[in-house]
Amino acid sequence: MKRSVGKITFHLFGLLLITYFTLPMVVAVLMSFGPSRFLRLPTNKWTLKWYVEFFSTTKWMDGLWNSLIVSSLTIVFALIVGMATALAFTKYKYKWGAGLYTLSLTPVFTPAVIIAMSLLTVAYRTGMHGHYTIIAVAHSLWAFPLVIMVLKVSLDGLDKSLEEAARGMGATPIQAFFTVTLPLIMPSVLVGALFAFIISINEFIMALFLGTVDTETLPRIIYPVLRYRLTPLVAAASGVLMLLTVIVLLVAARLVNLGKLVQYQRS
């Protein structure tokens, strides 16, 4: 009896938690289908005109394109740095390895405004202010600690004898990595890329500090509209961002064994 009550309580708590996180997103998406120029839930009439306006307006489409460019660069930067760092921590044992590993994770706990202000000085001194690259570098600082954690778990659990066998057959370290190690940890690489994409596509503060009118990302365009001209078009833009995130999640779920994700989470 106690076990049944505990199980019911657990499921009810899980349902409440899911509702708490998903309800605002569901409401925002529903409001994007309303015919009124004011944000309200549609009752008897639904329309796609706000999505049509979104995809037919140059400013919004430029913002979407800029977000995709920055997110793609963030994935590249985060994977390169994260992979190199995870390999270093796995293959080489340092005296202060645990401390260095903890230090490498600190950017994810650093407020976005601090990272943005620090890189703003660098951007002005190097002439990179307003470039996609500097925004992606800022986003990757937030993303690569998660990439390190995911890749390190995978590399620690890898059978080292497989790479040693490849080396014994004449493969160079680089050949052994690309032919043996990388295919085996590819699910982890995809999960790391997923984390980097989601962080970058939704980030606002760093994009506000480091971007310009030519490199405005979608969240940066949404912000002033939220403050001064609140219309269902904002809900449509938010719906597009959520749709992109869902698509990436579905692709990741298709490509990556979900059991792996559970294993990484437990680790």
Residue-averaged pLDDT of the chain? 83
Give the mean model confidence (pLDDT) for residues 213-238: 85
Provide the b/e sequence for 164-184 (b: ≥16 CB within 10 Å): eebeeeebeeeebbeebbeee
58-266 CATH choice from 3.40.50.720, 1.10.3720.10, 3.40.1260.20, 3.40.630.10: 1.10.3720.10
d(CA 147, CA 129): 26
Does the predicted TM-score (pTM) go above 0.95?
no
What are the C-alpha distances in Å from 141 to residues 29, 60, 115, 199? 30, 26, 8, 10
Most confident of 54-63, 102-111, 170-179, 257-266: 54-63
pLDDT greater at residue 159 or residue 74: 74
The count of other CB atoms within 10 Å of the CB of residue 202 is 18
40-52 pLDDT, tens digit per residue, is 776 677 888 888 8
Give the mean model confidence (pLDDT) for residues 60-72: 93
pLDDT of 137:
94
Q: How confident is the model at residue 265 (pLDDT cuts 50, 70, 90)?
A: very low
pLDDT at 259 over 50: yes
> What residue ranges do the domains of the chain occupy?
58-266
Contact call for residues 203 and 219 (beta carbons, < 8 A)? yes
- The secondary structure of residue 27, as a DSSP letter, is H
Of 107, 126, 146, 143, nearest to 210 by C-alpha is: 126
Give the mean model confidence (pLDDT) for residues 12-19: 85
pLDDT of 239:
86
